[in-house]
Amino acid sequence: MRKISHRTGRRHPLASVALLVVGLFTTGGAYALFTGTATAESSAVSEAQLDEGKKIFQANCASCHGLNAEGTNAGPSLIGVGALSVEFQVGTGRMPMAGSGPQAEVKPVQFVQEDIDAMAAWVASLAPGPALPEEEMLSGGDASNGAELFRVNCAMCHNVAGAGGALTEGKFAPHLKNIDPVHIYAAMVTGPQNMPVFSDMNLTPEEKRDIIAYLKYMDGNASVGGLDLGALGPVSEGLFIWIFGLGGLIAITVWLTAKSN
């Protein structure tokens, strides 16, 4: 009798390796194609934003800062100031300035946020500079620690309650009531006008977040001492007593004298 041979169905030892290699090439190729497309789209969006930012800048800012932000006799160079400085100056309405003066003042914002972001992106592309902070650095800080840091580093100009104060030569430290957290952070990092720059060596990002938390706490809580008279300290309080206190005493004296007569 002849034996009937049956195949065992065993695969070649290299078959598993071949399948693994094919799988890796397939997965890698698909990933490369996907990421390449996404990068191309992102790059295209970025280039479009930069072009738009340059156009807006040259139409509105070049007369003072130069066509390429190199600066002129009327305005400083913006090369290296970063996106954060643009967000602060333009996002608070300080720029464009309405006219020359001791310092740029807060005004209604002249641009929509999309245009501000485009200008900030273009200026940031000229040279490295401070970038916009992560959202987590703008909220959730320790208000108690922030109050101590604010008193040590900021109160001599802005007042302990953030009410602002006068400086020399017609300049002033603005009030800090209801300020957008990103603009508080930007002011500490970029040091606009007369304000010093607080680098991460002076105040860590976490300490800056604590100061923001303190100012936001002050926004949401009324003065525990009653009427704060603008929180301007003994000057306003003394003026109040001088006018109303002495005025009241004089009025009473006149009334008593008139009654006796």
| Reported confidence tier of residue 192, pLDDT bands at 50, 70, 90 | very high
Q: What is the residue type of 188?
A: M
Taking the domains of the chain in order of start, what are their residue ranges? 41-131, 133-244
Whole-number average pLDDT of the chain? 83
Is 133-244 the same fold as 41-131? yes
Whether 204 has a pLDDT exceeding 90, the answer reads yes
pLDDT in tens, 234-254: 666 677 777 878 888 888 888
- Are 163 and 227 within 8 A, CB to CB? no
Q: Over range 4-28, report the average pLDDT.
A: 60
- Are 229 and 237 within 8 A, CB to CB? yes
| Reported confidence tier of residue 21, pLDDT bands at 50, 70, 90 | low
Q: Over range 255-259, report the average pLDDT.
A: 80
Q: Over range 28-47, report the average pLDDT.
A: 51
Q: In the block, which residue shows the tokens 């301007």?
A: 232
Q: What one-character DSSP code corresponds to residue 231?
A: G
Before 96, cis peptide (omega within 30)? yes
Whether 53 has a pLDDT exceeding 90, the answer reads yes
| Reported confidence tier of residue 35, pLDDT bands at 50, 70, 90 | very low
pLDDT at position 46 is 86
Whether 64 has a pLDDT exceeding 70, the answer reads yes
Dihedral, CA atoms, 64, 68, 69, 72, nearest 10 degrees?
A: -40
Share of the chain above pLDDT 70, in %: 75
Q: Over range 150-161, report the average pLDDT.
A: 91
Long-range contact list for 22-28, CB < 8 A, 24+ apart?
A: none
| Reported confidence tier of residue 148, pLDDT bands at 50, 70, 90 | very high
Q: Over range 219-227, report the average pLDDT.
A: 71
**Cα–Cα distances in angstroms (integers) from residue 42 to residues 37, 45, 243, in the given order:** 9, 5, 64
Q: In the block, which residue shows the tokens 């194609």?
A: 33
Multiple choice CATH, 133-244, 1.10.760, 2.40.30, 3.30.70, 2.40.10? 1.10.760
Q: Over range 62-70, report the average pLDDT.
A: 94
**Architecture of domain 41-131 in CATH?**
Orthogonal Bundle (1.10)
Phi, psi angles (nearest 5°) of residue 15: -65, -40
Whether 224 has a pLDDT exceeding 70, the answer reads no
